[in-house]
Structure 1
Amino acid sequence: MTTRADSMQTTGPATVQTELPTADALRERARAALRAVGAHAELDAPGRPGLPSGSPITGDVLFTVPETSATQAEAAIAAASEAFTTWRVTPAPVRGALVARLGELLTEHNADVADLVTIEAGKITSEALGEVQEMIDICQFAVGLSRQLYGRTIASERPGHRLMETWHPLGVVGVITAFNFPVAVWAWNTAVALVCGDTVVWKPSELTPLTALACQALLERAAADVGAPREVGRLLQGGREIGEALVDDPRIALVSATGSVRMGQQVGPRVAQRFGKVLLELGGNNAAVVTPSADLDLAVRGIVFAAAGTAGQRCTSLRRVIAHRSVADTLVDRITTAYRSLPVGDPSAESTLVGPLIHARSYRDMVGALEQARSDGGEIIGGERVSPGPEYDESAYYVTPAVVRMPAQTAIVHAETFAPILYVLTYDSLDEAIAMNNAVPQGLSSAIFTTDMREAERFMAADGSDCGIANVNIGTSGAEIGGAFGGEKQTGGGRESGSDSWKAYMRRATNTVNYSSDLPLAQGVQFG
């Protein structure tokens, strides 16, 4: 993601923020942000029927948000399907004008949307602003793309014939997003899908309904401003049943789903059964190889941000360090020293660098993983639950990042735990390090820290890292929108954002034009 690594400072004394905002203060901030973006949502008090909207900052439920009914979901899908019939024949540069306006509104309201991200997802302010900037960036990318949906001309074997490929809008795109990037992933899909001529139906995470209301309001404002159909983007708020409606509906041409491997294992076969298309962004168990020649100052900085940023709750978070035996001890000492300096607490506070875990289950998963690692022979530093202040609510979960020296890659190391746990393993040869990098079921992001050109090139080669992202001298998180984002194996194989990822949102047609007066057949076939 585009959040800058330089926001993760690693100097200064270890601190814990001592005051949290009250639930009432968070409610007022959320209402103010929603008013600013023009979202006129009916927010009920906690406990009313509907979808609870909470904040990991305090652990409180802030509001109850209206939940989309099955009837409303059906109507939204039908409206998006109907809108597609006109949107697909709208010239692509005209479609781009909608996305350009959305980018302008996001620029105007970046602080409002970012504050909602902080409130609902617990991201520190700089990371939340970085996520909104990523939305703006992908809008700019997509606007340029609206004039570059290129096909190709192919040499025909028949005289007087032209052979070519053209790309056409695919249909309605169903987008299912996760809590940890509640707005950027929606923008990745929506900005590109809209310029490709598709319409979008979005089911956000149940944990982040307010950010979804804000984004939907801005999209509707953009559509009104440029005269685009309001129905090109629809929002469905709810749980599993709403997601299943998108997965099973034959009018949804493409399901783009971000979440767990288990979710992807259910979504993929169900969409395939009706011959729909899927774009899956699932789990990651990302590693960084640290070689003897590595610049350790650079490596520590990259490792600490990638492992502790977003409290370890990114799909690209660094889970494993594979360090050469000669540098492992020094590296661990420096990482643990840096970890002790990371302020933990209210993500809204300017000095905070590590916010809360999203909920109790995340904390239980972290505790369980650390207990298993200890039983497997791991040596654990950190990983404690901490109190951010005297008004601390037991429903909020703040932890210190953990470093775990492991004797081997056991089953728990192969599992993705969505928490700030960094396993450290050692290697003797580069072949061994690459094998360890590739040994896990997931294949999203990877990195190597080295000043040896041969090591760097080998890591990126066909027999190197098997991940969709392979970096050199930079951490596993912090991808730019210009490149295709996604991974292999249990990560799902999908690609979003830049490069030629737009092709997932379109259908390809091969065209042959005969401009001669003869009818030669392919391969020289003679008939009649």
Structure 2
Amino acid sequence: MIEKELKSLGIANICEGTSTGKHWFSNGETIVSTSPVDGKNSGRVSCTDKSDYERLVAAARTAKQEWANFPAPQRGEIVRQLGEKLRLHKSALGKLVSYEMGKSYQEGLGEVQEMIDICDFAVGLSRQLYGFTMHSERPEHRMYEQYHPLGIVGIISAFNFPVAVWAWNATLALVCGNVIIWKGSEKTPLCSIACQKILAEVLIENSLPEGISSICTGAADVGRWMAEDNRIDLLSATGSTKMGKQVAASVASRLGKSLLELGGNNAIIVTAHADLKMTIMAAVFGAVGTAGQRCTSTRRLIVHEDLYAQVRDALIGAYQQLKIGNPLNTTNHIGPLIDVDAVKNYLSALKEIKKQGGKILIDGEVLKGEGYESNCYVRPVVAEVENHYAIVQKETFAPILYLIKYRGEVSEAIKLQNEVAQGLSSSIMTNNLQEAEYFLSHRGSDCGIANVNIGTSGAEIGGAFGGEKETGGGRESGSDAWKAYMRRQTNTINYSNALPLAQGIKFDF
């Protein structure tokens, strides 16, 4: 299905196991990349063993000083070239993302565009790594702060965004003067290899050290090596809250730095003053986009009682129009879940909804027959529930939307929204200015992302991305997220002939 794309990306031979690139292909056990689209194997990738890992860390350590010595705008030029190559490969890489992960082709293209956008952002950033100056209390002294590269940045990414999240981290880390080591998801290894191949070409064309960027492939053991390795100056990890807690504990035990982007249990609040058409559009895409496998997917729809029946009926009508099938067919709205384990979690959640007292309005099932041979296609579900149900409090990576009724003022809805352990994305649908401002105030949403009259899913690269509570507290992508990839240093310069002490302390002898 994607042979032409693999060839255009230069990784067809790698998938056949006939190439062993020095720092982007390994010699350990084999992972088979099986597409959830049709259940077919699209390639075999060797896992990183411990000797491979030591070799690539050594290469990174060798390269990091040379790379840090390049002026930041020159580092930005390398990232600009990466962006140009991504433009050339957008269609092929987007199709690979769609086929290997299962999201729609349009979403695959959107993910690659996000990579291009963050390259552009990082290029501009390379000339804006600002420090600060401040007045000293001592005469003829100058104080300022500046930022230096950390060294080696480790990146652990998840299957649901197999290329974009790497780019968020990689581009910023690179322009900040760091080298990178990436562990992509073992469920989407071809996407990782394709991205590394594209960046490796840029490095080779500019006669730069190969160790500036490396990848390692494998399961949790490889991530554990990175978390426990004090040579990794920053570990940025995206995935489940369970995984993030393990990473955080390991990195903290060595007093290292971590940047965590973890689970979400995102809600859209629909007040009595909401626009119904906009609400349904936002809720449906948020709930079923990427088959509900985004960290920003809409899990809960908290609706005022005055509008509840209209929203419920409109949702049922909209869901009946959704087309489920091969995501490379652009007439389909929903592709498959990532694998049969995800399907099991989906089915388990449906049982729990009923067991805990919920009412399923649109029933779920695993689709069978022609076009569904992978057994990974499921029907999206809408269920009436109470916010306190244990299954509602848990993040289920599947297209399950919980419909929750609230009464009274918007503060009651916000209380329901905030009564979960996660704090990534949130939204309110309202044309009432007071409700919108209350939602955005310190009394409102406790999430890292709070939107008005748009859904929870889909973030622009210009703003910092991340959340609070069990979402981890990290920030990636735009705004001043670049500071996480650098170490901060305060400098004081005395240009006088005396040595006055701070706080007026006298020390004469």
TM-score scaled to structure 1, two decimals?
0.92
1:33 partnered with 2:26:
no
Query: Any gaps of 5 or more consecutive residues in structure 2?
Result: 18-27
Aligned counterparts of 1:218 and 1:378: Cα–Cα separation in 2: 48
Q: Deviations over 1:82-128 (max 9, x none)?
A: 11111111100010111000000000000111111011100101000
Counterpart of 1:279 in structure 2 is 259
Aligned CA distance change for structure 1 residues 253 and 306 (closer, same or farther; 3 Å): same
Contact 2:266/2:299, CA 8 A, preserved across alignment: yes
CA contact (8 A) 1:98 1:228 kept: no
The structure 1 residue matched to 2:72, chosen from 92, 96, 117, is 92
Q: Which residue of 1 aligns with 2:269?
A: 289
**Corresponding residue to 1:402 among 381, 387, 404:** 381
Which of the numbers 197, 213, 232 marks the counterpart of 1:217?
Answer: 197
SS class of match (1:164) = strand
Q: Does 1:499 align with 2:499?
A: no
Task: Provide the C-alpha distance between the structure 2 equivalents of 1:392 and 1:479, rounded to a whole number of angstroms.
Answer: 31
What amino acid is aligned across from residue 34 of structure 1 in structure 2? L
What is the rounded CA distance, in whole Å, between the counterparts of 2:278 and 2:416 in structure 1? 22
Q: 1:383–1:421: 8 Å Cα contact kept in structure 2?
A: no
Could you tell me how far apart the structure 2 residues matched to 1:314 and 1:445 are? 11
Q: What displacement does 1:249 show?
A: 1.0
Give how far 1:282 is off.
0.4
> What CA distance in whole angstroms lies between the structure 2 residues aligned with 1:383 and 1:162?
68
Taking the aligned partners of 2:81 and 2:259, their CA distance within structure 1 comes to: 26
Amino acid paired to 1:135: M
Aligned to 2:247: 267
Q: Following the alignment from structure 2 to structure 1, what is the Cα–Cα distance between the partners of residues 387 and 99? A: 38
CA offset at residue 43 of structure 1? 2.5
1:208 aligns with 188
Alpha-carbon distance in structure 2 between the residues aligned to 1:406 and 1:364: 21
CA apart distance, 1:388: 6.3
1:278 deviation in Å? 0.2
1:382 is displaced (CA, Å) by 2.6
Q: How many Å separate the matches in 2 of 1:214 and 1:182? A: 11
Give the distance between the partners of 2:56 and 2:136, measured in 1 at CA: 44
1:140 Cα deviation from its structure 2 partner:
0.3
What is the aligned partner in structure 2 of residue 21 from structure 1?
A: none
Aligned pair partner of 1:385 in 352, 365, 372: 365
In 2, the alpha carbon distance for the partners of 1:108 and 1:374 equals 49
Compared CA separation, residues 112 and 388, structure 1 to 2 (3 A): farther
Deviation at 1:378, TM superposition (A): 1.2
Matches within 5 A, 1:310-325: 310-325=290-305
Please name the residue that 2:233 is paired with: 253
Identify which of 40, 43, 56 aligns with 1:76. 56
2:61 alignment partner AA: S
Give matches, 1:334-483, under 5 Å. Answer: 334-387=314-367, 389-390=369-370, 392-393=372-373, 395-428=374-407, 429-483=409-463
d(CA) in 1 for partners of 2:465, 2:29:
38
**How far 1:223 sits from its partner (Å)?**
1.2
C-alpha distance after superposition, 1:368-423 (max 9, x if no partner): 11111112221112342353643642x42111211111144311100000000110
Contact 2:387–2:393 at 8 Å: present in 1 too?
Answer: no
Mean Cα deviation higher: 420-429 or 488-497: 420-429
Is the 1:182–1:211 contact (alpha carbons within 8 Å) kept by the matching residues of 2?
yes
How many pairs align? 497
- Report the residue type matching 2:381 in the other structure: A
Give the % identical residues. 51
Pairing of 1:319-334 with structure 2 (within 5 A): 319-334=299-314
Structure 1 unmatched runs, 5+? 1-25
Aligned to 2:20: none
Residue of structure 1 equivalent to 2:495: 515
Contact 1:369/1:412 (8 A) holds in 2:
yes
Q: What do you get for the CA RMSD once the two structures are aligned? A: 1.4
Deviation at 1:173, TM superposition (A): 0.5
- AA of the residue aligned to 2:73: P
Q: How far has the Cα of 1:320 moved from its partner?
A: 0.2
Change (3 A) 1:147 1:230: same
CA distance in 2, matches of 1:39, 1:158: 61
Q: Which residue of 2 is the match for residue 17 of structure 1?
A: none
Residues 494 and 383 of structure 1, relative CA distance in 2, 3 Å threshold: farther
| SS of match in other structure, 1:246 | helix
The 3-state SS of whatever aligns with 2:115 is helix
Q: Deviations over 1:419-447 (max 9, x none)?
A: 00110111112111111010000000000
Q: SS of 1:419's equivalent?
A: coil
Equivalent AA in structure 1 for residue 396 of structure 2: T
The 1:110–1:175 alpha-carbon spacing in structure 2 relative to 1, beyond 3 Å, is same
SS in 2 for 1:327: helix
Q: Verify the 8 A CA contact 1:59 1:359 in the aligned structure 2.
A: no
Deviations 1:19-68 (A, max 9, x none): xxxxxxx2xx1x322321233643248xx951111100122333221222
**Equivalent residues of 1:83, 1:232 under 8 A apart:** yes
Per-residue deviation, 1:134: 0.1
Q: Does the 8 Å CA contact 1:383/1:399 hold for their aligned counterparts?
A: no
CA contact (8 A) 1:344 1:388 kept: no
Q: SS of 1:221's equivalent? A: helix
Q: Give the 3-state SS of the residue equivalent to 1:211 in structure 2.
A: helix
Give per-residue Cα distances to partners, 1:116-147, cap 9 Å, x unaligned: 10111001010000000000000000000000
Q: Point out the more displaced range, 81-90 or 180-189.
A: 81-90
- Bigger shift: residues 246-255 or 398-407: 398-407
> What is the aligned partner in structure 2 of residue 163 from structure 1?
143
Deviations 1:188-211 (CA, angstroms, capped at 9, x unpaired):
000000000000000000000111
Q: Does 1:141 align with 2:113?
A: no
- 2:214 corresponds to 1:234: yes
Cα distance in 2 between the residues matched to 1:359 and 1:333? 31
Q: Equivalent residue for 1:524? A: 504
SS for the counterpart of 2:330 is coil
One-letter amino acid matched to 1:247: A
Distance 1:98 1:408, change over 3 A: closer
Q: Distance in 2 between matches of 1:167 and 1:475?
A: 36
Give the 3-state SS of the residue equivalent to 2:459 in structure 1.
coil
What residue is the counterpart of 1:181 in the other structure?
161
Given that residues 99 and 143 in structure 1 are in contact (C-alpha distance below 8 angstroms), is that contact kept between their aligned partners in structure 2?
A: yes
Q: Please state whether the residue corresponding to 1:166 is helix, strand or coil.
A: strand
Q: Are the aligned partners of 2:272 and 2:430 in contact in 1 as well (CA < 8 Å)? A: yes
| Cα distance in structure 2, aligned partners of 1:129 and 1:295 | 30
Partner secondary structure for residue 69 of structure 2: coil
Structure 2 residue identity aligned to 1:50: T
Q: Deviations over 1:150-180 (max 9, x none)?
A: 0000111111011100000001011000000
Q: 2:87 aligns with which of 107, 111, 115?
A: 107
